[in-house]
Amino acid sequence: MAVQTGGVLIRILVAGAGIGGLTTALSLHAAGFTDVVVHESVKEIRPLGVGINILPHAVRELTELGLGERLAAIGVATADLTFVNRYGQAIWSEVRGVAAGYHWPQYSVHRGRLQFMLLEAVKERLGPDSVVTGSPVTGLDHDADLLVGADGIRSAVRAAMFPEEGEPLWSGQVLWRGTTISKPFMTGRSMLMAGDDVQKVVVYPIAPPDEDGNVLINWAIQRQAEETVPRGDWNREVSIDTFFHHVADWRFDWLDIPALVSNAQAVYEYPMVDRDPLPHWSTDRVTLLGDAAHPMYPTGSNGGTQSIVDARVLANALAGGRGLDFYEEQRRPMCTAIVHANRKDGPEVVMRLAHERAPEGFDDIDEVIPLAEREEIALRYKQMAGFDPATLNERASWSV
């Protein structure tokens, strides 16, 4: 692959002003590249979306970019990740972030607020003209030395590289997602996953408490679709009546899910889609990043996180003269493994196992899934995705 750089000034065009694209611009700037422009297809960037989790390996990268305090101000430092069955019985719980031995926290945050925080930083550091809106990149023809396709699961850059690929692959599952202002639950900073292989409900706060002690809570319901769901509109609003019957009796002593859903500000329907891993991400003057390179199911909270790590590794590879080959060597095998693992439920597999082995509930989870098995499942996923504490804390920085 031709693009190596190693100190040579080049012009870089980034397609897409999402989390991956903006972090790419910041990472390239921090690595010494001064001619970087982000092109975004929409005319006005708005704070769309719902909640997203940024895991410690991505928080490390944002912190090393000097954004740690800004991230802490808009997010919630996740205290624990807890899995329960549909009866509210605990399957597995683990502390998260610093309490789990990481040098960096884990944050839950509104995706739009995170995007705007990154956008503000890009304009401060690279200049007000560094992000051009209403300017879609539609193919591989460009006047830059390098084109970085960070334009999402429907990437035009990817489509130009692999024109026979077609539509995203739908699992048949659907996600209904929303946000609700409510009283805190559990620790107040808990991430909850409830259910089994038939239906899952994910709930976590995504903003600090307001003056009344209320928090903005993100929730998502996942189950097999009863009819075809459009795969082109990621912000499609639907009525609560579409799915409310699925959770009407999901009330626990410590969380009333029907009430949470009923009081939502808006509800969106998302098809559960990904794409098959690619044989390569790069050509001589083009590469892919984030969802354009490795769209994955939201299982394991790794989508946005991996795009942030992609950006940092790419900038390091270019600045060090190791180029796109090194970038792919570091990133593509791992992201391919995550795509496949997420199709098999990733760390959420404990919910399926509990249902298969004890469909009516249990008195002692250790008799259903022994502690050693649960610990092994959790650690295996962290190791595969690059964020077990020892590996993350001890590896060298991607800063140049």
At how many degrees (to 10) do helices 303-319 and 19-30 cross? 30
Provide the pLDDT for residue 47.
84
Residue 10 DSSP one-character state: -
Do residues 142 and 151 make contact, with C-beta atoms less than 8 angstroms apart?
Answer: no
Provide the pLDDT for residue 231.
63
Count, in order, helices (H) and strands (E) of the chain. Answer: 12, 18
Provide the pLDDT for residue 49.
83
SS3 category, 47: coil
Phi, psi of 112 (to 5 degrees): -65, -40
Closest to 294 (Cα-Cα) out of 183, 150, 134, 181: 150
Residue 214 CA to chain centroid, in angstroms?
Answer: 25
Provide the pLDDT for residue 46.
87
Provide the pLDDT for residue 1.
46
Distances from the Cα of 332 to the Cαs of 170, 282, 313, 337, 347, in angstroms?
22, 11, 11, 9, 21
Residue 291 DSSP one-character state: G
Q: State both tokens at 334.
A: 């791992």
Provide the pLDDT for residue 4.
56
Phi, psi of 131 (to 5 degrees): -120, 120
Provide the pLDDT for residue 366.
97
Do residues 387 and 56 make contact, with C-beta atoms less than 8 angstroms apart?
Answer: yes
Residue 397 DSSP one-character state: P
Q: Residues of the chain whose pLDDT is less than 50?
A: 1-2
Buried b (16+ CB within 10 A) or exposed e, 335-355: bbebbebbeebbbbbbbbbbb
Q: State both tokens at 327.
A: 């970038």
Q: What is the C-alpha to C-alpha distance for residues 89 and 170, in angstroms, rounded to an integer?
A: 31
Provide the pLDDT for residue 164.
96
CA atoms 294, 297, 299, 302: torsion sign: positive
DSSP sequence for 83-106 = EE-TT--EEEEEE-GGGGT-SS--
Give bridge partners of residue 350 from the DSSP assignment.
none
Closest to 270 (Cα-Cα) out of 223, 241, 227, 231: 231
Do residues 332 and 281 make contact, with C-beta atoms less than 8 angstroms apart?
Answer: yes
Provide the pLDDT for residue 153.
94
Provide the pLDDT for residue 265.
86
